[in-house]
Amino acid sequence: MTELTRRNTMKLMSAALVAGVSFSSLPRKAFSGGSITVLNWQGYGTDEKWSVKAFTEKTGIAVVHDYYSSESEMLTKLRTNPGAYDLVIINAARCAQAVAEDLLQPIDFSKVPNVGAVDENLRSNPNFSKDGKSFAVPWVWGMTSLAIREGLPVPDSYAVLADAAYKGRVAMDDDAIINVAVGALMSGQDINDPKDLAAVTAALKSIKPNVKLLWSTEDQWNKSFAAKEFDLSLFWSGGSVRSKRNAKLPVQFVVPKEGGIGWVDGLAIPASAPNAEGALAFANWMIDPAFYVEWATKVGAPASSNSAALSALPADDLSRQVHKPEYLKTMGIMSALPDDRREAFNNLWQEVKAFYAE
């Protein structure tokens, strides 16, 4: 599932202890100390030892972690452990559900100074708000879009997936939600709630002559691309950075006119958090350019929600080049799906896959 794969790829990045970080932007010890407990995926930014150490030295706040292996498990932990967590990393697609269940408290942005540089398209995302109140600090983001072999014409639309020029040269992400979103964009519909599923099905079936591979892992994608099994594919923005930087593959990430299929993770405070003030200080540090530049360049990270942090990356940094600020204005962000809609999407994709196999 998409919710797992983008974090699991973090495990492919080298574990690095980073020195020389400037922590001038951290608040001085104006807190009562104590500790905060963060609920997150393991190895996903918040538990970098060098960062936690510096944060504790500067603020007097110790940082403890607990982990989840799926977003449904994260929600279960919030429901069944009141008072256990001070900060939780939550995807936009799950935030509205958590807010509806009263699992989160509103965010006081005045205590998160760095939020002023967070892109407005992320800060105002309706998945993170209710009744005019914000319930998460946008943290990091990424996209699924098109990846093409360098040297080939740069496509300007997802319609290229059905272009006869790519007969037998296309790879598709074997994920129902992503593919329905692509079919929705190809037929001019909302990625989260397409009303005409027949048109989505028809759009995806039109790609059949070109489909060479249905991939499910980044490693599989890299090996198949390196073997020249395909030239054009659906792919993750962060995956394209790693494929080019680490595997030295000649891949170009392209966001067509319809926009990328985006995701964004936020930093939220559980309703029963015992140390909300400490959690806000840590959230502020997580979107600080000083933290992000070290995380992104020395370890590897998704795109920061903080435009100042992205701008602080070296000009030739691949993540900066791929995650252009203008894409935030055109991409749709995946939202929570009701069970019946999710089932319909899954059934649609199974039908399309069976059609591909005929």
CA atoms within 13 A on the CB side of 267: 31
Q: What is the largest CA-CA distance in the chain?
A: 66
Closest to 291 measured CA to CA, from 39, 28, 25, 36: 25
The mean pLDDT value for 33-60 works out to 94
Summarised one tens digit per residue, pLDDT across range 108-118 is 999 999 999 99
> What pLDDT shows up at residue 163?
98
Instruction: Select the more confidently predicted residue: 3 or 217.
Output: 217
> What pLDDT shows up at residue 29?
45
| Mean pLDDT taken over the chain | 90
Q: Return d(Cα 272, Cα 104) in angstroms, integer.
A: 8
Alpha-carbon torsion 333, 334, 338, 344, what sign? positive
Does the pLDDT value for residue 14 go beyond 80? Answer: no
Contact 8, 41 (CB under 8 A): no
> What pLDDT shows up at residue 26?
53
**Share above pLDDT 90 across residues of the chain, in percent, rounded to a whole number:** 82
DSSP codes of every residue in 127-196: GGEETTEE--EEEEEEEEEEEEETTSPPPSSGGGGG-GGGTT-EEEE--HHHHHHHHHHHTT--SS--S-
In the numeric block, which tokens belong to residue 296? 């992104």
Summarised one tens digit per residue, pLDDT across range 267-281 is 999 999 999 999 999
Contact 180, 2 (CB under 8 A): no
Summarised one tens digit per residue, pLDDT across range 114-146 is 999 999 889 888 899 999 999 999 999 999 999
The runs of H, that is alpha helices, within the chain are 2-8, 49-59, 71-80, 92-100, 120-123, 176-186, 197-205, 218-226, 237-245, 276-286, 289-294, 307-311, 318-322, 327-330, 339-357
Does the pLDDT value for residue 30 go beyond 60? Answer: no
> What pLDDT shows up at residue 297?
87
Does the pLDDT value for residue 22 go beyond 60? Answer: no
Q: Could you count the other beta carbons within 10 Å of the beta carbon of residue 358? A: 5
Contact 136, 266 (CB under 8 A): yes
> What pLDDT shows up at residue 13?
41
Least confident of 31-45, 220-234, 235-249: 31-45
Contact 328, 121 (CB under 8 A): yes
Summarised one tens digit per residue, pLDDT across range 291-336 is 999 999 888 889 999 999 999 999 999 999 999 989 999 999 998 8
Q: Return d(Cα 323, Cα 335) in angstroms, integer.
A: 20
Q: Return d(Cα 309, Cα 296) in angstroms, integer.
A: 10
The mean pLDDT value for 98-102 works out to 95
Whether the model clears a pTM of 0.75, i.e. scores above it, the answer is yes
**Beta carbons within 8 Å of 23's beta carbon, 6+ residues apart:** 54, 55, 58, 290
Task: Tell me how far CA of residue 357 lies from CA of 275, 346, 352, 354, in angstroms.
Answer: 54, 17, 9, 5
